[in-house]
């Protein structure tokens, strides 16, 4: 049921003094300015008149500084007069807003000028009753049109046009009366017409003909003589052939002249169709066709032909037309029967962390779950692909969070069927996460489209859409040169040209589009500018209810204030109760115009309103809390951080944790501890190991100061992130963390879950301790215990952390037979808690298990699966793992140059990411190459430098290198202080080097020790179990020991094993080529 009141019947008359009625009652239209607005809109015949043109016409090209504000006041007053009963927040239906201005939306018969045109048009067609209709029209015509505005250019032009229409109606009526044999009825109006318009040759001819046919030949001849003299004396021309034919009939009583039908004057403005009573729904601006669209459509055709995913990267600067291009593609593919879904990465803070994923699911008809995991979105897209081709658009992926980029990778990697993913980004804002995603997607077919500026034709089209349709060639050339064809810049400059004229291109030329936007904003009324600043505080879009509440105004007043911004293209009505900035740059310019101190106050006001109106919108509340600059915002920051973590938006979460931490530094220790504990896990997820360790150290210190064991437990076990590489940053044990963990482990912890988490944390703090066998054993015991207690806890989140710790310890030699089973258990726990990070670790553990078993194909498959699940920093890690593994395979295949090149590329990538392990990766490559060619002598200096920083880390490789370089004395000196290598992921490789060094130095004790240690791994390739290093077949080292012990039979046997190991490797390499 529609309770909206029926719109009033409004009529406007301009054929004489300007008048208006509402439901039959005359309306007092007020002063000249107000009347001029109504008259000017009436003169447009229902079409939109831009605000710039209205201002120019009403003030005769010399508007006051705030003319737009005055115009808006006139419009508001007129609306109240013409629709006195319009309900609040309902759109006007008579004087309507239509970008870029206003229109008078009346039916044709409600504006007398339009009704007159309709009568004349129907009469010219010969409709029945035409003479009577013209009689009525001429009887009602009450005088000169727009009489009070003929002193203006527009008023004079429209008055003259309607005078021509009136005269045309008189002539048309006379023509029809003559044809009907009623000449006498035409004489009166024609006589009046020729007296006032003596130059109208057609009227004079019709009058002479009417007089003659009415039996008044002498008067007819007098009129013919008058018009001849007038034409000769005043205009210097001869009568027209038609007038001469009339004269011939009158003088000779010849055959009646057949007067041609009178046509409508060429300059008469055709009647516009009636405007709708209801405002039209917001529509997207017209699209200027671009050739790049065809490139994307060609990719869509390829996706259909191959029935497989294709990827299009659309790259362009701000305003280059990325969104417009994808919208054009979506429209065209929709017309072909494609399903389309768009996810927009938030342009400003405050959107939910999972917003792009939510948008995609909704577009596919899927109700988003509480937690929008990347695989949920990927599965929905894949299901849709099975029934129809699908286009997924991800806008602005330079702003994408890690899970959104993971959606991009998983959709491309798992979909079966016709699918195109179009991802747009700005080239100067590329993040490390985006680079990693692009690298991971390198094998997906598709194309990269670089959007450059449009040509001159495109500039002309965009300028026309922006309200400057008639630019000459010179101005177009200058506009094209000034903007480089950037569509946004063209649109902004075109708007400026519309307001200021073409001089805007050369006088005080703005150095950037931001200045162009500022100049356009400066033209808006003061109250519009104030409301725009309040809207900018709320974000790219603003809810009108919230905006009114923050401003302390009525919603109708807010609408009135914003209307000039809508009409001038600064804002757009995104729905019936929301407005949005037309581009993020526009919003940024407005936001930056707010002084910093006022921004904080505005954000506080927004926070107060939103906490009452939308208390569950944690993302928006947290956004305003960050900028509110007040301690009262901390609870909102903490809620927002936790929600962002739940949606896997760890980068957003860290910003909120950091903001809360700043406020709590001098506050209650309990609250600060909660924030630090939360931040540890977030920083760890982001890969900032140093900052995460420092935050945990501070949390532990704070907890110890309180004497609260539960607080200490939460602080010490706050590393909640999955672990692929070591989280230790020093060879020394971090006693600030380990000592509290040991105390907790020795205490009476309340549950198995507590014991499991403490043991897991302890295992990661003690693994890989050089020269401390007891620490290695403690780490091993802790990992074993952690998994046992985690199983007892029946908590999959606890089990995931414990299996991660056990699997990390199992990278060494002590739990080889449990590696795969542990990885499977970890995968199950990860699935139960919906955490792709732990799922990636499970696949990583399978990768190392396969590599240790010399299963090259299985290892790569598992590494690829881990990469598919990884996101953000973890993705960069896994891409590095894959690249290093591929380099290792090159070494195995004897492709040494390719291998070194790969190691160098990985090193440079890690270096640019700031990874501490970057140089170590290059060293691994050179070690593998040296082993393969049988000479490590060139690496003596490099290995010595590493040993000086991290003693014992490459000691056995260094000894072998010294021996290869002929420096036996230095080798023996290093050997005397060497300690066994920790039993971690490099143990097998380093123990193999230790065995080779012992054999060459003749150390019988170490030879016996290492032979016993290595024999269980005799059929392995040393270092392959780490996925990164080649140290040769283990059996080859055993053969060297046997040779040194003069056991030729054993040496031959071990060499055969080594040969068989390399044969298995070669067979797998051959099969993969």
Find the range with the poorest average confidence among 282-286, 522-526, 733-737. Answer: 282-286
**In terms of domains, do 355 and 473 share one?**
no
Nearest-5° Cα angle at 214, 212 to 217: 30
pLDDT of residue 304 exceeding 80, the answer is no
Whether 96 is covered by a domain: the verdict is: yes
Domain final residue pick, 157, 180, 203? 180
Share the mean pLDDT of the chain: 85
Q: For 405-458, give the DSSP string.
A: HHHHHHHHHH--SSEEEEEEE-GGG--HHHHHHHHHTTTS-EEEEE-----HHH
Whether 1007 is covered by a domain: the verdict is: no
Q: Count Cβ neighbours within 10 Å for each residue of 915-929 and write b for 16 or more, e otherwise.
A: bebbebbbbbbbbbb
- Return the pLDDT at 244: 82
**In terms of domains, do 130 and 158 share one?**
yes
What integer is the mean pLDDT of 641-655?
88
Whether 770 is covered by a domain: the verdict is: yes
Q: Which of 238-247, 364-373, 972-981 has the highest mean pLDDT?
A: 972-981
- Return the pLDDT at 268: 41
Whether 306 is covered by a domain: the verdict is: yes
Q: What is the CATH number of the domain that holds 352?
A: 3.40.50.300
Element (H, E) at 933: helix 918-933
pLDDT tens for 202-261 read 887 788 888 888 888 888 888 888 888 877 777 777 777 787 877 777 787 765 654 554
Whether 133 is covered by a domain: the verdict is: yes
What integer is the mean pLDDT of 972-1000?
95
pLDDT tens for 826-861 read 999 999 999 999 999 999 999 999 999 999 999 999
pLDDT band of 630, cuts 50, 70, 90: confident
pLDDT tens for 875-932 read 888 888 888 899 999 999 999 888 888 888 888 877 776 665 677 888 888 999 999 9
Q: What is the CATH number of the domain that holds 70?
A: 1.10.10.10
**In terms of domains, do 326 and 422 share one?**
yes
Whether 686 is covered by a domain: the verdict is: no
- Return the pLDDT at 569: 79
pLDDT band of 367, cuts 50, 70, 90: confident
- Return the pLDDT at 507: 45
Q: Which domain holds residue 470?
A: 457-511
**In terms of domains, do 345 and 444 share one?**
yes
**In terms of domains, do 442 and 477 share one?**
no
- Return the pLDDT at 485: 76
Tokens found for residue 842:
């499970």
**In terms of domains, do 753 and 739 share one?**
yes
Domain final residue pick, 130, 165, 180? 180
- Return the pLDDT at 270: 36
Domain final residue pick, 155, 180, 205? 180
Beta bridge pairs of residue 311: 421, 446
Give the 3-state secondary structure percentages of the chain, helix then strand then coil, rounded to 5.
65, 5, 30
What integer is the mean pLDDT of 39-60?
84
pLDDT of residue 282 exceeding 50, the answer is no
Which one is predicted more confidently, 96 or 483?
A: 96
Angstrom distances, CA of residue 909 to CA of 439, 724, 891, 905, 926? 11, 18, 20, 6, 17
Please tell me what DSSP assigns to residue 312. E
Whether 663 is covered by a domain: the verdict is: no
**In terms of domains, do 3 and 126 share one?**
yes
Strand pairing of 419-425 and 390-395? Answer: parallel
Which one is predicted more confidently, 74 or 305?
A: 74
Ramachandran angles phi, psi of 97, nearest 5°:
-90, 130
- Return the pLDDT at 78: 92
Which one is predicted more confidently, 364 or 899?
A: 899
**In terms of domains, do 381 and 465 share one?**
no
Whether 573 is covered by a domain: the verdict is: no
pLDDT band of 1037, cuts 50, 70, 90: very high
Cβ–Cβ < 8 Å for 903, 921: yes
Nearest-5° Cα angle at 560, 556 to 565: 135
Element (H, E) at 21: strand 19-22
pLDDT of residue 513 exceeding 70, the answer is no
**In terms of domains, do 446 and 461 share one?**
no
pLDDT tens for 82-139 read 998 888 778 888 998 887 788 898 988 888 888 888 888 888 887 788 888 888 888 8
**CA dist., res. 240 & res. 259, Å (int):** 13
**In terms of domains, do 411 and 468 share one?**
no
**CA dist., res. 834 & res. 374, Å (int):** 10
Cβ–Cβ < 8 Å for 34, 77: yes
pLDDT of residue 675 exceeding 70, the answer is yes
- Return the pLDDT at 263: 47
pLDDT tens for 951-961 read 999 999 999 99
- Return the pLDDT at 1019: 95
pLDDT of residue 508 exceeding 50, the answer is no
Q: What is the CATH number of the domain that holds 803?
A: 1.25.40
**In terms of domains, do 404 and 493 share one?**
no
What integer is the mean pLDDT of 483-494?
75
- Return the pLDDT at 478: 78
pLDDT tens for 708-747 read 999 999 999 999 999 988 888 887 899 999 999 999 999 9
pLDDT of residue 462 exceeding 90, the answer is no
Residue with the two structure tokens 């258990």: 825
pLDDT band of 488, cuts 50, 70, 90: confident
pLDDT tens for 165-202 read 888 888 888 888 888 788 888 888 888 888 888 878 88
**In terms of domains, do 416 and 496 share one?**
no
pLDDT band of 373, cuts 50, 70, 90: low
Q: What is the number of structural domains in the chain?
A: 4
């Amino acid at each position: 049921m529609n309770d909206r009141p029926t719109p009033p019947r409004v009529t406007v008359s301009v054929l004489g003094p300007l008048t208006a009625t509402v439901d039959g009652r005359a309306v007092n239209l007020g002063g000249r300015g107000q009347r001029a607005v109504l008259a000017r809109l009436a003169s447009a015949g229902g079409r939109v008149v831009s605000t710039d043109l209205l201002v120019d016409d009403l003030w005769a090209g010399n508007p006051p500084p705030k003319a737009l504000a005055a115009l808006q006041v006139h419009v508001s007053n007129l609306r109240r007069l013409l629709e006195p009963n319009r309900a609040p927040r309902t759109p006007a239906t008579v004087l309507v807003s239509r970008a870029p201005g206003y229109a008078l939306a009346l039916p044709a018969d409600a504006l007398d000028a339009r009704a007159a045109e309709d009568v004349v048009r129907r009469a010219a067609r010969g409709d029945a009753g035409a003479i009577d209709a013209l009689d009525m029209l001429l009887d009602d015509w009450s005088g000169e049109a727009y009489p009070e505005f003929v002193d203006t250019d527009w008023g004079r032009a429209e008055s003259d046009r309607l005078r021509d229409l009136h005269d045309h109606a008189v002539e048309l009526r006379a023509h029809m009366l003559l044809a009907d044999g009623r000449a006498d009825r035409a004489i009166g109006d024609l006589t009046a017409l020729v007296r006032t318009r003596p130059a109208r040759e057609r009227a004079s001819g019709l009058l002479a003909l009417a007089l003659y046919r009415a039996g008044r030949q002498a008067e007819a001849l007098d009129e013919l003589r008058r018009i001849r003299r007038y034409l000769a004396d005043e205009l210097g021309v001869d009568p027209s052939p038609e007038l001469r034919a009339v004269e011939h009939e009158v003088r000779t009583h010849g055959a009646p002249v057949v007067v041609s039908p009178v046509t409508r004057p060429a300059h008469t403005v055709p009647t516009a169709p009636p405007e709708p009573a209801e405002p039209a729904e917001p529509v997207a601006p017209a699209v200027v066709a671009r050739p790049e669209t065809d490139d994307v459509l060609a990719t869509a055709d390829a996706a259909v032909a191959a029935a497989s995913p294709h990827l299009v990267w659309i790259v362009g600067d701000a305003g280059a037309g990325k969104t417009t291009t994808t919208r054009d593609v979506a429209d065209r593919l929709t017309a072909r029967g494609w399903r389309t879904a768009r996810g927009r990465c938030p342009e400003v803070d405050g959107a939910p962390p999972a917003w792009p994923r939510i948008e995609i699911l909704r577009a596919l008809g899927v109700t988003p779950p509480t937690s929008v995991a990347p695989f949920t979105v990927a599965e929905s897209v894949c299901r849709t692909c099975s029934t129809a081709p699908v286009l997924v658009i991800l806008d602005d992926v330079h702003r994408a969070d890690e899970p959104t980029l993971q959606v991009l990778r998983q959709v491309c990697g798992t979909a079966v069927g016709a699918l195109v993913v179009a991802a747009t980004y700005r080239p100067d804002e590329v993040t490390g996460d985006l680079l990693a995603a692009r690298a991971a997607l390198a094998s997906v077919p598709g194309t990269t489209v670089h959007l450059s500026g449009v040509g001159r034709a495109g500039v002309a089209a965009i300028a026309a859409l922006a309200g400057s349709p008639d630019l000459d060639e010179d101005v177009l050339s200058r506009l094209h040169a000034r903007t480089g064809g950037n569509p946004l810049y063209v649109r902004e400059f075109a708007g400026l040209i519309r307001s200021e004229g073409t001089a805007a291109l050369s006088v005080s030329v703005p150095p950037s589009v931001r200045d162009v936007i500022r100049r356009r904003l400066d033209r808006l009324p003061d109250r519009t500018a104030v409301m725009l600043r309040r809207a900018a505080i709320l974000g790219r879009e603003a809810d009108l209810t919230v905006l009114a509440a923050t401003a302390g105004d009525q919603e109708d007043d807010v609408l009135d204030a914003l209307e000039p911004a809508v009409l001038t293209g600064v804002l757009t009505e995104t729905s019936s109760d929301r407005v949005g900035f037309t581009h993020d740059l526009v919003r940024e310019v407005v936001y930056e115009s707010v002084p910093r101190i006022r921004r904080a106050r505005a954000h506080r006001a927004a926070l107060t309103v939103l906490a009452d109106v939308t208390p569950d919108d944690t993302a928006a509340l947290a956004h305003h809390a960050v900028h509110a600059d007040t301690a009262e915002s901390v609870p909102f920051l903490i809620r927002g951080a936790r929600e962002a973590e739940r949606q896997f938006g760890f980068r957003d979460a860290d910003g909120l944790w950091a903001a809360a931490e700043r406020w709590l530094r001098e506050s209650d220790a309990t609250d600060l501890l909660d924030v630090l504990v939360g931040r540890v896990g977030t920083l760890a997820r982001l890969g900032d190991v140093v900052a995460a360790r420092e935050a945990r150290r501070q949390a532990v210190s704070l907890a110890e100061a309180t004497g609260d064991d539960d607080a200490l437990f939460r602080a010490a076990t706050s590393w909640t992130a999955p672990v692929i590489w070591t989280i230790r940053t020093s060879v020394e044990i971090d006693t600030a963390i380990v000592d509290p963990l040991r105390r907790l482990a020795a205490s009476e912890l309340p549950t198995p879950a507590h014991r499991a988490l403490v043991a897991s944390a302890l295992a990661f703090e003690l693994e890989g301790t050089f020269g401390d066998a007891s620490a290695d054993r403690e780490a091993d015991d802790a990992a074993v215990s952690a998994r046992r207690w985690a199983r007892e806890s029946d908590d999959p989140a606890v089990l995931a952390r414990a299996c991660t710790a056990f699997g990390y310890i199992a990278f060494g030699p002590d739990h080889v037979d449990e590696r795969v089973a542990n990885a499977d258990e970890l995968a199950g726990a990860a699935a139960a808690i919906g955490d792709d990070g732990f799922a990636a670790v499970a696949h990583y553990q399978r990768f190392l298990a396969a590599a240790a078993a010399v299963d090259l194909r299985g290892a790569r498959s598992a590494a690829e699966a881990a990469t598919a699940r990884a996101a953000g920093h973890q993705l960069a890690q896994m891409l590095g793992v894959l690249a290093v593994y591929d380099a290792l395979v090159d070494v195995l295949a004897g492709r040494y140059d390719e291998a070194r090149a790969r190691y160098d590329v990985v090193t440079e990538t890690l270096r640019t990411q700031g990874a501490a392990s970057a140089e170590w990766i290059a060293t691994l490559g050179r070690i593998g190459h040296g082993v393969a060619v049988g000479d490590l002598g060139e690496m003596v200096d490099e290995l010595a430098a590493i040993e000086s920083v991290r003693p014992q880390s490459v000691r056995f490789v260094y000894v072998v290198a010294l021996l290869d370089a002929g420096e036996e004395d230095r080798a023996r000196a290093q050997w005397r202080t060497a300690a066994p290598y920790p039993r971690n992921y490099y143990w097998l490789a380093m123990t193999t080097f230790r065995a080779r060094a012992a054999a060459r130095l003749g150390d019988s004790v170490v030879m016996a020790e290492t032979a016993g240690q290595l024999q269980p791994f005799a059929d392995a390739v040393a270092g392959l179990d780490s996925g990164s290093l080649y140290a040769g077949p283990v059996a080859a080292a055993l053969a060297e020991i046997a040779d040194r012990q003069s056991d030729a039979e054993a040496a031959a046997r071990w060499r055969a094993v080594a040969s068989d190991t390399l044969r298995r490797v070669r067979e797998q390499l051959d099969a993969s080529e």
